[in-house]
């Protein structure tokens, strides 16, 4: 008896179902955007039959952490816009680190979703509400506490966007204006998230020398609010924190054992990426971007910044103070492409100038819009977080022009090829689980992330023998190899490393 007729039938592969269960032989039928699992060789017909012998069929990868909120809306080039789907990502979670596209460029979640629907997407998008964006809309960029009325308004706006479908609350507590908030403010907002059964997702107030103290704050917020806690891109960065995962991970394990709903994400690289302006102390940003540029024009203010970096500021992460300008390279500077890929220290040495002055002049020349790569982590720490039972995979991709971090194009293939196959740090089923089922569960993505009958037909087919990342710091957008096919809502969006032009993706409500 025939199993029926399908739009697409994937024959002869092994299935990694997203739960972490061992690989199993099976065929996968797709009809009307949904999946049906079949025993190998089951009689069936299809409009398109694809032989995937020797390949693994898995749920489409879910990127737990991106900054791709407006990638398809702002004229970003083809390579940037499709870097994620070319490595098998069928859902991107954006709005991270306290920075979302609403309430800001777009008034609310519905307007944001509508904007994406008007242009179309190859894959799906899920968005958190960024605390920094929310605070800027209600309080502004002043370095002060929110008033009771302002906090009430932030809670109301947050509540409306959760009701509309936003997936959680994110904070970026090293970034202004979010860093101006105290623990009580964040707890009040996380309480709204808890009421909607949505997670508190946090870029900690410090991931360097004070990372354990910053974790204390995050745990306190989760306990007081009742919200599930998700730690963004967990790391112990900077020379004073190297090896710190030997303490942080056991602590997180203990909290989970005690009943706390706690997870984290991680990217498989020892370098981070952020804005050059984030290397400057919080007080320099008081009043917003325009006031920062005014201060950068003032020699006396630059001297204060130089002193703050050298001596530190209470409560400030101070990336340069924990590493040095020789670990900070320019990733994106539209008017100074010749500086991309070079460290601030090297540029300063060549010019016979002070590094803070070099950074200041570059920010002024680029109207504050400069991205950087920070080589701040150690491989053993990265591997420990990748191995943790409660970690999932997020690229932390920042799809901006220039020489962006290769994680935007390489993260998922790198985990499968380098860490799972080559180093055997993880099994393939474990790696797939961290990229699919675990992430879907954390962000409330129903019927996604696991291959089962009736699930949404977001799928990736990859070759376990050849899958590998090719993106580098000098050629950061090179697509991976070994990703044979990617389907979104049952439509083939990538075939043999090439995007097909199909745009079935949408902004998903959670």
Q: Give the per-residue pLDDT at 326.
A: 97
Q: In this predicted model, what pLDDT tens digit does every residue of 37-60 receive, in sequence order? A: 999 999 999 999 999 999 999 999
Residue 223 lies in a domain: yes
Residues 93, 220, single domain; the answer is yes
Q: Could you tell me the two tokens for 166?
A: 């936003």
Residues 70, 156, single domain; the answer is yes
Q: In this predicted model, what pLDDT tens digit does every residue of 156-181 receive, in sequence order? A: 999 999 999 999 999 999 999 999 99
Burial class (CB in 10 A: 0-12, 13-18, 19+), 118: exposed
Q: Could you tell me the two tokens for 462?
A: 């990859």
CB atoms within 10 A of CB 297: 11
- By C-alpha distance, which of 234, 168, 171 is closest to 443? 168
Q: In this predicted model, what pLDDT tens digit does every residue of 59-92 receive, in sequence order? A: 999 999 999 999 989 877 677 889 999 999 999 9
Q: What is the mean pLDDT of residues 235-246?
A: 97
Q: What is the mean pLDDT of the chain?
A: 97
Residue 145 lies in a domain: yes
Residue 47 lies in a domain: no
Residue 487 lies in a domain: no
Residues 212, 95, single domain; the answer is yes
Q: In this predicted model, what pLDDT tens digit does every residue of 336-375 receive, in sequence order? A: 999 999 999 999 999 999 999 999 999 999 999 999 999 9
Q: Give the per-residue pLDDT at 2.
A: 72
Contact, 106 vs 112, CB < 8 A?
yes
DSSP string of 171-230? EETTSTTGGG--HHHHHHHHHHHHHTT--EEEE-S-SSTTHHHHHHHHHHHHHHH---EE
Q: Give the per-residue pLDDT at 3.
A: 84
Helix (H) or strand (E) holding 296: helix 289-296
Q: Domain total for the chain?
A: 2
Q: In this predicted model, what pLDDT tens digit does every residue of 130-144 receive, in sequence order? A: 999 999 999 999 999
Residues 367, 380, single domain; the answer is no
3-state secondary structure 373-428: EEECCCHHHHHHHHHCCCEEECCCECCCCCCCCCHHHHHHHHHHHHHHHHCCCCCH
Q: What is the mean pLDDT of residues 81-110?
A: 97
Q: In this predicted model, what pLDDT tens digit does every residue of 218-229 receive, in sequence order? A: 999 999 999 999
Q: What is the mean pLDDT of residues 102-108?
A: 96
Q: Give the per-residue pLDDT at 77.
A: 64
Residue 503 lies in a domain: no
Residues 237, 204, single domain; the answer is yes
Burial class (CB in 10 A: 0-12, 13-18, 19+), 96: buried
Residue 502 lies in a domain: no
Q: Is the pTM of this model over 0.95?
A: yes
Q: Give the per-residue pLDDT at 175.
A: 97
Q: Give the per-residue pLDDT at 105.
A: 92
Answer positive or negative: Cα dihedral of 116, 117, 123, 128.
positive
Show Cβ contacts of residue 316 under 8 Å, excluding neighbours closer than 6 positions.
174, 179, 281, 282, 308
Q: Could you tell me the two tokens for 393?
A: 């995979």
Residue 233: left if φ>0, alpha if ψ -120 to 50, beta else—which one? left
At residue 502, does pLDDT exceed 70? Answer: yes
CB atoms within 10 A of CB 144: 12
Residue 469 lies in a domain: no
Residue 358 lies in a domain: yes
Domain boundary among the residues 374, 399, 425 is at: 374
Domain limits for position 348: 274-374
User: b/e per residue, 271-281, with b = 16+ CB within 10 A?
Assistant: bbbbbbbbbbb
Q: In this predicted model, what pLDDT tens digit does every residue of 381-403 receive, in sequence order? A: 999 999 999 999 999 999 999 99
Residues 262, 131, single domain; the answer is yes
Residues 261, 180, single domain; the answer is yes
Q: Is the bond preceding residue 103 a cis peptide, omega within 30 degrees? A: yes
CB atoms within 10 A of CB 40: 12
At residue 28, does pLDDT exceed 90? Answer: yes
Q: What is the DSSP letter of 143?
A: S
Residues 169, 91, single domain; the answer is yes
């Amino acid at each position: 008896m025939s199993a029926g007729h399908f739009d697409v039938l994937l024959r002869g592969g092994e299935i990694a179902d997203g739960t972490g269960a061992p690989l199993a032989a099976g065929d996968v039928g797709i009809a009307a955007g949904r999946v049906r699992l079949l025993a190998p060789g089951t009689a069936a017909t299809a409009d398109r039959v694809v032989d995937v012998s020797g390949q693994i069929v898995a749920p489409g990868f879910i990127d737990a952490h991106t900054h791709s909120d407006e990638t398809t809306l702002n004229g970003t080039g083809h390579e940037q816009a499709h870097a994620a789907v070319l490595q098998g990502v069928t859902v991107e979670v954006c709005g991270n680190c306290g920075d979302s596209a609403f309430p800001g460029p777009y008034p609310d979640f519905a307007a944001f979703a509508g904007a994406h629907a008007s242009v179309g997407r190859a894959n799906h998008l899920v968005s958190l509400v960024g605390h920094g964006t929310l605070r800027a809309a209600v309080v502004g960029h002043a370095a002060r506490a929110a008033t009771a009325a302002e906090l009430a308004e932030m809670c109301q706006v947050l509540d409306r966007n959760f009701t509309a479908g936003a997936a959680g609350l994110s904070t970026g507590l090293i970034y202004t204006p979010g860093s101006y908030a105290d623990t009580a403010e964040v707890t009040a907002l996380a309480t709204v998230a808890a009421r909607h059964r949505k997670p508190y997702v946090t870029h900690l107030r410090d991931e360097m020398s004070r990372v354990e103290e910053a974790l204390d704050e995050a745990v306190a917020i989760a306990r007081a609010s009742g919200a599930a806690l998700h730690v963004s891109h967990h790391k112990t960065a900077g020379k004073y924190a190297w090896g710190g995962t030997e303490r942080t991970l056991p602590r997180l394990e203990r909290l989970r054992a005690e009943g706390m709903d706690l997870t984290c994400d991680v990217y498989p690289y020892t370098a981070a990426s952020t804005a050059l302006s984030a290397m400057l102390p919080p007080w320099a940003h008081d009043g917003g971007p325009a006031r920062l540029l005014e201060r950068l024009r003032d020699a006396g203010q630059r001297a204060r910044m130089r002193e703050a970096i050298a001596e530190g500021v209470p409560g400030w992460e101070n990336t340069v103070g924990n590493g040095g300008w020789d670990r900070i390279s320019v990733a994106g500077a539209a008017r100074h492409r010749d500086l991309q890929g070079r460290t601030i220290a090297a540029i300063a040495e060549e010019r016979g100038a002070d590094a803070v002055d070099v950074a200041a002049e570059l920010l002024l020349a680029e109207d504050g819009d400069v991205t950087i790569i920070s080589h701040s982590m150690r491989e053993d720490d990265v591997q420990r977080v990748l191995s943790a039972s409660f970690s999932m995979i997020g690229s932390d991709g920042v799809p901006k022009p220039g020489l962006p971090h290769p994680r935007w194009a390489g993260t998922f293939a790198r985990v499968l090829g380098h860490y799972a196959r080559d180093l055997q740090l993880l099994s393939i089923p474990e790696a797939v689980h961290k990229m699919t089922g675990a992430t879907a569960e954390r962000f409330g993505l129903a019927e996604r992330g696991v291959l089962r009958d009736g699930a949404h037909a977001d799928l990736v087919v990859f070759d376990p023998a050849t899958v590998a990342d090719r993106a580098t710091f000098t050629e950061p957008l090179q697509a991976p190899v070994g990703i044979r096919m990617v389907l979104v809502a049952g439509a083939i969006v990538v075939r043999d490393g090439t995007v097909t032009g199909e745009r079935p993706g949408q902004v998903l409500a959670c």
